[in-house]
Amino acid sequence: MAKVRRQFPRPRDLAPLLKFKSPDLNAKRRRLNKALTIYDLRDIAARRTPRAAFDYTEGAAEAEISLARARQAFEDIEFHPAILRDVSHVDPSCTILGGQSALPFGIAPTGFTRMMHTEGEWAGAGAAHRAGIPFSLSTMGTTSIEDVAATNPGGRNWFQLYMWKDRDRSMALVERAAAAGFDTLLVTVDVPVAGARLRDKRNGMSIPPSLTPGTILNAIPRPEWWINFLTTEPLAFASLDRWSGTVGELLDTMFDPTVTFEDLVWIRKQWPGKVVVKGVQTVEDSKRVVDTGVDGLILSNHGGRQLDRAPIPFHLLPDVVKAVGKKTEIVVDTGIMSGSDIVACIALGAKFTLIGRAYLYGLMAGGEAGVDRAIDILREQIVRTMRLLGVTSLGELTPDHVTQLSRFTRLTPR
């Protein structure tokens, strides 16, 4: 019977097994390269960002059920791969709203971004520029329209509009965005009042953050954020006045709750580029939005930050595609944490997606390099998922590639 024979390891056998690499002396790069998923970036972000800023970003409204369900909906899918296809070359680029994007996602508008990290919108716009994807600047942004345009020159910048009670001021911003070459206006319509962001209330969050015994204690293990905060341009809204309450309270004083579909028709006439309505949450409203003559709609519940237990945008997608998919371009956001979530949206008929927290976790984990890392992670995941599904372009994805598994069944008919 043959037996295992032992021998002394010889140096020439050991040599190829030794994999000592010269250490990377750049601590930030080392940290970011260890992150393999957006959730890994989130964990780094939590360690490096003061509690109030992290919670403002991570948190959602009320019991945060909308956000949890939206993420769960992406987990509850089944992919159906096609085998034996030549997937040596994969192209994840697409066209959206009359222009190109190197990837099927863009950066969503987020308010008060320099609070997450001092590089804020510069980091987002710079990373979008390098990746060849659109960047959206919020009305509540902390970097000016002109600075964003300069950071993403020749790239695609989108401006997000909150319609304020003071219309002249809102439209003055819109004119500035048009003059700076922004090509698309996102009109956010899911904020007639601010959602109840309870974490902000519990943290006593103010803008800018104030120094209290609690915040000082919380700052001790997070020195870099505080050094950045205290030694760079003061944190303030680029388009608004100073405010000493929570973002929710600010929204309530400014947002015009009388805005209706007629106003969309009016806004459409004011803007030379594309107009997209952000925050559509029913099939009925998707039809009404299309009837106003805008160019696209974003199925979104604001990342769960407005109405808690709102419909899951990803679940709405098939019905909305059926109702208006031939007449308009449909974008999806809320809950996207991986490239395969994005692939699933495209397979079910979305033209494009937006990422909010996925990019902000990268920003908080490492400024501009962190946003680059978040985009790289998503790109790798998209390309790998496409290959594993047996497709070489986004156009080849169809609803046959994805099943949405049901966790909740509707008991009441709609």
Ligand X SMILES: Cc1cc2nc3c(=O)[nH]c(=O)nc-3n(C[C@H](O)[C@H](O)[C@H](O)COP(=O)(O)O)c2cc1C
Residue span binding ligand X (CB under 6 A) among the ranges 27-35, 83-91, 199-207, 333-341: 333-341
Sole binder of ligand X in the list 335, 339, 362, 370 (CB under 6 A): 335
3-state secondary structure of 176: helix
Residue 188 lies near ligand X (rule: CB under 6 A): yes
Site string for ligand X, 140-159 (x = CB under 6 A): x-------------------
Query: CA–CA separation, 193 vs 188, rounded Å?
Result: 12
Tokens of 374: 């978040």
Query: CA–CA separation, 203 vs 364, rounded Å?
Result: 18
Residue 357 lies near ligand X (rule: CB under 6 A): yes
Interhelix angle for 313-324 vs 65-75, to 10°? 70
Quick one: which H or E segment has residue 96? strand 94-96
Question: CB 240 → ligand X: shortest distance, Å?
Answer: 11
Please identify which residue in the block is written with the tokens 């700052």. Answer: 219
Sole binder of ligand X in the list 121, 249, 329, 333 (CB under 6 A): 333
Site string for ligand X, 272-311 (x = CB under 6 A): ------x---------------------x-xx-x------
Question: CB 359 → ligand X: shortest distance, Å?
Answer: 8
Report DSSP state, residue 137. Answer: E
CB burial class (10 A; 0-12, 13-18, 19+) of residue 221? exposed
Residue span binding ligand X (CB under 6 A) among the ranges 33-41, 146-154, 342-350, 356-364: 356-364
Residue 356 lies near ligand X (rule: CB under 6 A): yes
Site string for ligand X, 91-130 (x = CB under 6 A): -----------------xxxx-------------------
Question: CB 160 → ligand X: shortest distance, Å?
Answer: 5
R_g of the chain, CA atoms, integer Å: 23
35 versus 115: smaller Cβ distance to ligand X? 115
Query: CA–CA separation, 138 vs 207, rounded Å?
Result: 16
CB burial class (10 A; 0-12, 13-18, 19+) of residue 194? buried
Site string for ligand X, 155-184 (x = CB under 6 A): -----x------------------------
Active-site residue among 89, 302, 315, 401?
302
Query: CA–CA separation, 394 vs 96, rounded Å?
Result: 12
Question: CB 62 → ligand X: shortest distance, Å?
Answer: 15
Query: CA–CA separation, 89 vs 87, rounded Å?
Result: 5
Query: CA–CA separation, 113 vs 212, rounded Å?
Result: 22
Residue 401: active-site member: no
Sole binder of ligand X in the list 275, 332, 342, 358 (CB under 6 A): 358
Restricted to residues 213-252, the positions that interact with ligand X (CB under 6 A) are none
| Beta-sheet strands, E only, within 209-368 | 274-280, 296-299, 329-332, 352-355
- Catalytic residues, by residue number, are 302
Residues binding ligand X (CB under 6 A): 56-57, 108-111, 138, 140, 160, 188, 278, 300, 302-303, 305, 333-336, 355-358, 360
